[in-house]
Amino acid sequence: MNKTIYALLALLLLAGAVYGALAEATAVDYAKGTPWLCSDLEGVVTEDTPASLKDDFTLAVNKDALLALEIPEGYSFGGTLMDVSLKQADDIRNMFLGDAPQGHDALLAYNLFWLMMDWDSRNALGVAPLKEEIDRVEAVDTLDAMSAYFLELPVESQAGILWAVESEPDLADSTRRILSMGSCPLLLEDSAEYAAMTDYGAVRKAAATELTRKMLVKLGYSEADAAQKIENCFAFEAKVSPVIYTNEEQRSADYYNRTYNLYTLDALMEAQGKLPVIELMEHMGYPATDRYQVDNPAFLDRLNEVYTEENLPLIRDYLIVHDVIDVAARLDRECYEWKTEYNNALDGATGIVDDATASATEVSKRLEWPVAQLYTETYLKAEDKERIAGMVDDILKAYHGILEEADFLSDETRARAIEKLDAMNLRVLYPDDWEKYSCDGLEIGSPQASETYWQAVKKVSAYQLAKKAKEYSEPVDWEKWVMPPQIVNCFYDPQGNSINILGAFTQGSLYNSDMSDEELLAKVGTTIGHEISHGFDRTGAQFDKDGNMANWWTDEDYQKFTERNARLAAYYDAMHPWAGQSFHGSIMTGEACADMAGMKVALRIAAQRKGFDYDAFFRAYANTWLMKMTLQQAYTVINDNHPMCYLRINCTLQQYDEFLDTYGIAEGDNMYLAPEDRVAVW
C-alpha cells in the first residue's frame, strides 16, 4: 500500500485526478528541501538517507519509525496523531457494535450508526431523494422563483447555498450573539485558484468534475448536459471568486477585523438589493435585529451584480453541482464509493475505510454531543482528568515567568497580559455537567422502524438549525464546551479565553498513567503550553481577558510584537520543503509562536526537576510529531497555518540552549541557530 511519490502520481493519472503540470512533476527532487529534508513526505526517507542529531534532529530520531510506517488504508497520512485518531475511531465504533445503549441521546447515535450501515435500504432508495431536491432547483425558471425557493423550503432541504448565514458570539461583546452573512463555498476551496490555478487546484477540479459527471448521469442527465452543468458551476464561481477571501487572507492576522463589518437593519436591507438575505435569516427562525455582521461586503456587492435572470442557469447549476458532491456519500453504495474516490484524489489516499469505522466517525460528527457523553462514560477516567488539570495549573503558573521576563513589554501591557492569563478558563477532558448538551425533542428511528439514513440526517440538520435559532436570543453560555471530548484535538478559544484539552487527545501513545515525567511533559505539557500561548499569539493578542476583540496593548509594545512576528514569518519564508516550493511564513506565525512558547514553558518546568532527562524529553517531543503523508496532503499542509511536522520539531527546538547543549550542537551544525537569529516571539 505504501508507495513512492512517483508511483502515487501514476495512480492518480489512472484515476483521472491529474496535476496541471504532471509532465514536469516527476522532475522535481523532493529530497532537496532546505534547510532540512521534508521527512514528512512519503517516499523521501530511505535506508540510505543520512541522519545526524546535530544536522536534522527530526530525521535522526524518527528515521527508523518513518521507514517502518505505512499510511493506513483510506487515509492520507500516518504517524502518532493518526494512531491516536485510529484508536478513537475504533473506540467509537466498538460502542455501537454491542447492544443498544440506555438513554435517549445515546440511542439517537446508535440508531443513526445502524441506519448508515443499512446498505439494503440505502441501495433500494438509490438517488431518488437527491433527484427530488435537484428537480426542485430545475423548476426554478425566474429570479423571483429562485428567491422564493430559498424562503419557502426548509433550509435543510435546499440544494447548496449562495451565501452562508451564521449565529456566533459577537467579536466586540462575547456575551451576545450576532447574525453574520458569509461567502459561498467554492469547488476549488481557495479563491486564489481561480486567478492562477496550481497543480493541486487542477487535482481538485478534475476530482470534482469526475464525481459530478458520474452523479449527474446516474440522476438521468446526458453526458453533454452533465458537462454543461459543471462548466456553468465553474463559470459562476469564476464570477464571484475574485472578491472571496483567499486561504492566505483567511489566515492573516487582520482577518477578524476584516470580517467585522457591522450593518444596521436598514443598511443591510439596502445593501442586500435583490437578495433575500434578511428574509432568509427570518425564514431560519432568527428575529430581525439592530446589528448584523457582513463578513465580506465586496462579496455581497458582487453577488448582487450576478444575481440576474441572465445568470440564472449558472446559479441553478452551481447549486446542483454542490449538492450532488455534498450528499453523494449519503446515498447508495455506488455513490458512496464514488465520493470515496473523490476524497482519495484530493488527499492522495488509497483504498477505503471499513464501513463500521466510517459510520462511527460520521455519527460522531453529526451527533457529537450524544456520542461525547457515551464516549466519556466508556473511556475517560476521572483520575486522568484530575491529573491533567493539575498539569494545566502548573503550566499556567510557570507561564507567568514568560510574561514577566518578556523584555519588549511595558509594565502596563505586562499587567494586562498576566490578567488575561489568570482569567483563562480550563476545559479538561470532558464536561462535568451534561444537561447543557441534551438532544431533547430529536427522535431517530431504527432500521427496523423503517427510518432511512437520508431522513435521519435531514432530521438532525433541522433540529440543530432550530436549536441555534432558539439560542440566538439567549446570552452566550461560556461554561458550555464548543467542541466535544471525542475529538483528537486541543485548542484555545479567544472569545471564551479558554484552554481546551479534549479527552481523545489524551489516549494511546500521547498519554497514559504510567508515562515518565519527561514523556508526559513533552507530549501533553508542551501541548498545554502551546494552547495557552495562543492567547498571546497574533490572533489571541487581539482579544482581552473577557474574550472581546479589544486592544489591551500600548502602541509601542504592539509594534514590537508585530516586528517579532515579522521576523518569525521571514524565518519560515526562507525554508523550502523541496526545490521550488515555498512556505507561507505570514500565515504560520500563530502556530509557530505557540509551538515555541509551549516548549519554552515546558523547559522552565524541566529546569526545576532534579535529574531531568533532557534527551528522553526531546526524543518524546519528536515522536509526538512523527508524520508520513502523501504529496496531496503535503500541498494541503503547506497552505495551512500549522507548520509541517518536521518543522514543528526542528524549528522549535533550535531556539533553545537546553536542546543545543544536550547534543553538543555548535556553529557549523545544521541544527545550530545563533542567539541573534532566534525568532521565538516569547
Whole-number CA gyration radius for the chain: 26
DSSP secondary structure string, 445-474? --GGGT--HHHHHHHHHHHHHHHHHHHTTS
The tens digit of pLDDT for each residue in 612-632 reads: 999 999 999 999 999 999 999
Please say whether the beta carbons of 203 and 345 come within 8 A: yes
Q: Measured on CA atoms in the order 588, 594, 597, 599, is the torsion positive or negative?
A: negative
Angle at 178 between CA 177 and CA 179, to 5 degrees: 130
Angle at 583 between CA 580 and CA 587, to 5 degrees: 160
The tens digit of pLDDT for each residue in 71-97 reads: 999 999 999 999 999 999 999 999 999
Averaged pLDDT, 657-678:
98
The tens digit of pLDDT for each residue in 638-648 reads: 999 999 999 99
Query: pTM of the predicted model, to two decimals?
Result: 0.93
Averaged pLDDT, 240-269:
97
Distance CA 89, CA 86 (A): 5
**Distance set, CA 152 to CA 131, 137, 280, 309 (Å):** 18, 12, 9, 20
The pLDDT value given to residue 397: 97
Please say whether the beta carbons of 189 and 170 come within 8 A: no
C-alpha cell at 433: 455537567
The tens digit of pLDDT for each residue in 229-248 reads: 999 999 999 999 999 999 99
Assign 13 a pLDDT band (cuts: 50, 70, 90).
Answer: very low
The tens digit of pLDDT for each residue in 478-521 reads: 999 999 999 999 999 999 999 999 999 999 999 998 999 999 99
C-alpha cell at 652: 522549535
Assign 27 a pLDDT band (cuts: 50, 70, 90).
Answer: confident
The tens digit of pLDDT for each residue in 51-75 reads: 999 999 999 999 999 999 999 999 9
Q: Per-domain residue ranges for the chain? A: 138-330, 381-431+486-677
Superfamily in which the 381-431+486-677 domain is placed by CATH? Collagenase (Catalytic Domain) (3.40.390.10)
Fold equal for 138-330 and 381-431+486-677: no
DSSP secondary structure string, 580-646? T----HHHHHHHHHHHHHHHHHHHHHHTTSTT--HHHHHHHHHHHT-EEE-HHHHHHHHTSSSPPHH
Q: What is the dihedral of CA 673, 677, 678, 682, to 10 degrees?
A: 170
The pLDDT value given to residue 4: 33
CA 401 to chain centre: 32
**Average pLDDT value over all residues in the chain:** 95
Question: Given its phi and psi angles, is residue 334 left (phi above 0), alpha (psi -120 to 50 degrees) or beta?
Answer: alpha
CATH class of the domain defined by 138-330 = mainly alpha
Q: In which residue are the cell numbers 493541486 written?
A: 200
The pLDDT value given to residue 26: 53
